[in-house]
Amino acid sequence: MISALMSNYGNPDLEFERGQGTWLYTPAGERYLDFTTGIAVNCLGHCHPHLVQALQEQATRIWHSSNLFRIPQTERLAQRLVDNTFADRVFFSNSGTEAVEAGFKMMRRYHYSRGESQRVRIISLSSSFHGRTLAPIAACKNPVHIEGFLTGDPGFDQVPFGDIDALRAAITPETAGVILEPIQGEGGIRLTPFDYLSQVRELCDEQGILLMYDEVQSGVGRSGYLYAYMASGVVPDLLASAKGLGGGFPIGACLSSERVAAPMVAGTHGSTFGGNPLATAVGNAVLDVILAPGFLAEAMAGAAQLRAGLAELINEYPGVISEQTGLGYMIGLKCSISNADFIYALKDEHMLVVKAGGNSVRLLPPLNVTAEEIAHALAIVRTACARLATAR
Ligand SMILES: Cc1ncc(COP(=O)(O)O)c(C=O)c1O
């Protein structure tokens, strides 16, 4: 049957009618182990009772009012993000790309407010991914994403990942700031070296430009830290968050230092749905769980179990998988065979993972995946590796 949906997502074959924890169920009742979590979204698995309760309770009170009015749970979520990060202020959006867009606008507005309105250009790193609206695709310069969509010079420059000299050389009197992912996601789970982050921070300070992190994928506990930058201790001026922040309910946030937020006076930016009461009620519920003492430590013990098992499999089947990357539960597996073949082999065994750049796959389990589920996942990866190794 031809779907009325646009074809931009291809033709997915699987359909799920419900999810519970780490499992997804098809209408026929078959279950799949979900290590995609909606691409790093369902950070607490499907239908976590605390999140369901928060959403149901909020749904009986008020769904939407508008930013014309105060929204207490939105103010509370902003305050909790401020209390637990570098940030002083938060702007809420509905998605990751909008959080990035907000950050780009804020970078420009910051310099404008200081009389440096020529500082509009933003530098990104190669293989980065920052979203699909016009400014993020212009920033990332991925030929597949920009073809037929851009006109003129939208004001973005790009330098090779991890090359500090190239970054220094790219900064001009028109540069407003730099955006990077502390752990690249779509590009192939790639940890940005901590010493490079420090050098970028120093360079930005020296040049009077801003540093923005995109933690849309790496944020909200996935790395073992609330935000992955905390592993390095190198603090940004701006940070885009989304995905896991709503645990499956759409939300985005642009976190900012006071000096960068100050020029964003009334009327400078906005969103009808950004900071919607349903979204922030769920966002608060997510933080209740993630910030509970011991939660992330326990999650990272699970990540260590998974990573140790994967390391063994890499040793046993180097002709199928050759390396694991990332941090915490943001796991990349570089494939020696085609990553698509590896994904299909896992799918045949009812385990779901996501493709990433560099011929790798992403394993993005919920942060509360159980030890038994990890053991089950490792058994599936072993079966798939054994099958693919003999097929070669
Ligand atoms: C690092 C990063 N930034 C931005 C985005 C865009 O987020 P959204 O799809 O919610 O607009 C993504 C989505 O995958 C992402 O991984």
Q: How far is the CA of 390 from the centre of ligand 1 (A)?
A: 37
Q: Which domains does the chain have, with CATH numbers?
A: 7-34+294-391 (3.90.1150.10), 50-290 (3.40.640.10)
194: tokens are 């901590």
Locate 53 and state its tokens.
């309760």
In angstroms, the Cα distances linking 261 to 103, 105, 120, 256, 365 are 10, 11, 16, 6, 34
How many Å is the Cα radius of gyration of the chain?
21
Dmax (CA) for the chain in angstroms is 65
What pLDDT does residue 391 have?
Answer: 81
Q: What was the pLDDT predicted at 11?
A: 87
For 75, 294, 365, the CA distances from 306, given in Å and listed in that order, are 37, 19, 10
| Residue stretches of the chain with pLDDT short of 70 | 1
Closest residue by CA, ligand 1 atom 3: 130
Taking the centre of ligand 1 as the mean of its atom positions, its distance from the CA of residue 170, in whole angstroms, is 25
Q: What pLDDT was estimated at residue 1?
A: 62
pLDDT tens, 262-276?
Answer: 999 999 999 999 999
Q: Give the distance (Å) from ligand 1 centre to CA of residue 214.
A: 8
- Minimum-distance ligand 1 atom for the alpha carbon of 215: 1
Top mutation candidate among 8, 125, 130 for ligand 1, by most atoms within 8 Å of CB: 130
The token pair at 357 is: 């750049």
Q: What is the pLDDT of residues 297-328, one digit of tens each?
A: 999 999 999 999 999 999 999 999 999 999 99
253, β-bridge pairs? 92, 241
Which tokens hold the place of 305? 């179990």
Nearest CA among 320, 302, 297 for reference residue 382: 320
Q: Which ranges constitute the DSSP H helices of the chain? A: 37-40, 49-59, 72-83, 96-113, 134-140, 143-146, 164-170, 194-207, 229-232, 258-261, 277-290, 295-316, 339-348, 371-391
Ligand 1 pocket list (CB less than 6 A): 39, 95-97, 100, 129-131, 181, 185-186, 214, 216-217, 242
Distance 240 CA to ligand 1 centre (A): 9
| CB contact at 8 A, 220 and 43 | yes
Q: 83-119: string of b/e by CB count within 10 Å (b at 16+)?
A: eebbbebbbbbbbbbbbbbbbbbbbbbbbebeebeeb
Q: How far apart are CA 128 and CA 214, in angstroms?
A: 10
Dihedral, CA atoms, 320, 324, 325, 329, nearest 10 degrees?
Answer: 110
DSSP letter assigned to residue 286: H
- Residue 162 tokens read as 């991890």
Distance 198 CA to ligand 1 centre (A): 24
Mutate to test the pocket of ligand 1, among 43, 100, 129 (most ligand atoms within 8 A of CB): 129
| Residue 310: both structure tokens together | 């994967």
Question: What's the rounded Cα separation, in Å, for the pair 23 and 348?
Answer: 15
Residue 130's pLDDT is 98
Using DSSP's 3-state secondary structure scheme, residue 213 falls into strand
